[in-house]
């Protein structure tokens, strides 16, 4: 009698150790007004733990080019070199300003997929994005005015226009669309930073938010796509050059700037992993909490697209032991 092979290794369960480490390190800098220091603490801790993960990883979405980032730079090889071969996208501290100011929704985030399946944004820093839950995924279209999409969402869900809420980054480039959405009668939640968290909010069934829209970081778009492939829902993105030089650079490299990219274009294949740990309290995750000098607690989301499993993990950490294991980098 033949036996059905058992499930293979869930790398997300190993990756959550990296986001926990980054969150614990960054949390020591929360509210201190030093976003560079907070980001560096998260990078150092995440890189330390990533080196212990059994994988042959290449950073596709990282902290920048090698001459800008000594660790977790684009193209860096990480892991112990053993199979599987994977692409990695990291944001050790999504919302550096949020953490520096002690504001909500700062996260430590990582995503992973099979080698060659993760979209490389090349020279394009920004992307226009639209995301929503599974029941409205077919309505997502960046060619259509956002106000019309809001009307279609209200009709699909059998609600009034003023029941629909859109989350978007508070940026000058969004002012005209923001005005149109408000004139339509829909509600808007403006956020200062953190559109990975906002994208997850838009597709979550426990959220008051119906849609994410706006022009934000392309790396965050790729990471959001990995989360959405596991959570369910849909996303479309379109590359948004900041100027003529960036536009020409993208064209020279063969990018189609008119194309709408779905989550399946941004992260191809059916087996990707995602982990996020809260640094400060937010809608999706509780931030790091300290319990005296001895311990700290974290809350994380861990997901795998192939199985559709989403785990919420609460962990307690012994701070003194972490400091000894991490050479004082976190805890």
How far apart are alpha carbons 233 and 209 in whole angstroms? 13
Tokens representing residue 223 in the block: 């990471």
How far apart are alpha carbons 316 and 133 in whole angstroms? 32
In contact, 319 and 325? CB cutoff 8 Å: no
281 is in an annotated binding site: no
264 is in an annotated binding site: no
How far apart are alpha carbons 312 and 299 in whole angstroms? 7
180 is in an annotated binding site: no
14 is in an annotated binding site: no
Which helix (H) or strand (E) segment holds residue 97: the answer is helix 96-101
Residues with Cβ within 8 Å of residue 101, at least 6 apart in sequence: 31, 33
How far apart are alpha carbons 240 and 262 in whole angstroms? 15
Tokens representing residue 171 in the block: 């940026």
Residues with Cβ within 8 Å of residue 206, at least 6 apart in sequence: none
63 is in an annotated binding site: yes
Extract the annotated binding site for Mn(2+): 39, 63, 91, 94, 220
Extract the annotated binding site: 39, 63, 91, 94, 220
């Amino acid at each position: 009698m033949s036996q059905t092979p058992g499930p293979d290794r869930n790398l997300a369960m190993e990756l959550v150790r990296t986001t926990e480490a980054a969150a614990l390190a960054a949390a020591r800098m929360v509210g201190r007004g030093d976003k560079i220091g907070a980001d560096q603490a998260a990078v150092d801790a995440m890189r330390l733990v990533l080196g212990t993960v059994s994988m042959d990883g290449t950073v596709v979405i990282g902290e920048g080019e090698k001459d800008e980032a000594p660790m977790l730079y684009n193209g860096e090889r990480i892991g112990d070199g053993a199979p599987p071969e994977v692409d990695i996208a990291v944001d050790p501290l999504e919302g550096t300003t949020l953490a520096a100011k002690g504001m909500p929704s700062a996260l430590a985030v990582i995503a992973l997929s099979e080698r060659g399946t993760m979209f490389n944004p090349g020279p394009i820093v920004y992307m226009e994005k639209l995301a929503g839950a599974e029941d409205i995924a077919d309505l997502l279209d960046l060619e259509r005015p956002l106000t019309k999409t809001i009307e279609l969402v209200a009709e699909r869900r059998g609600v009034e226009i003023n029941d629909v809420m859109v989350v978007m980054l508070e940026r000058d480039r969004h002012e005209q669309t923001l005005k149109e959405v408000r004139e339509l009668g829909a509600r808007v939640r403006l956020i200062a930073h953190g559109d990975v968290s906002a994208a997850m909010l838009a597709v979550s069934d426990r959220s008051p938010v119906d849609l994410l829209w706006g022009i934000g970081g392309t790396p965050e778009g790729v990471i959001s796509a990995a989360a959405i492939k596991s959570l369910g829902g849909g996303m479309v993105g379109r590359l948004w050059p900041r100027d003529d030089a960036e536009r020409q650079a993208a064209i020279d490299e063969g990018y189609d700037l008119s194309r709408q990219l779905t989550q399946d274009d941004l992260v191809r294949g059916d087996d990707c992993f995602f982990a996020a740990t809260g640094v400060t309290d937010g809608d999706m995750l509780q931030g790091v909490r300290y319990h005296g000098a001895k311990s700290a607690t974290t809350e994380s989301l861990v997901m795998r697209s192939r199985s559709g499993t989403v785990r919420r993990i609460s962990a307690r950490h012994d701070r003194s032991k972490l400091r000894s294991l991490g050479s004082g980098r976190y805890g």
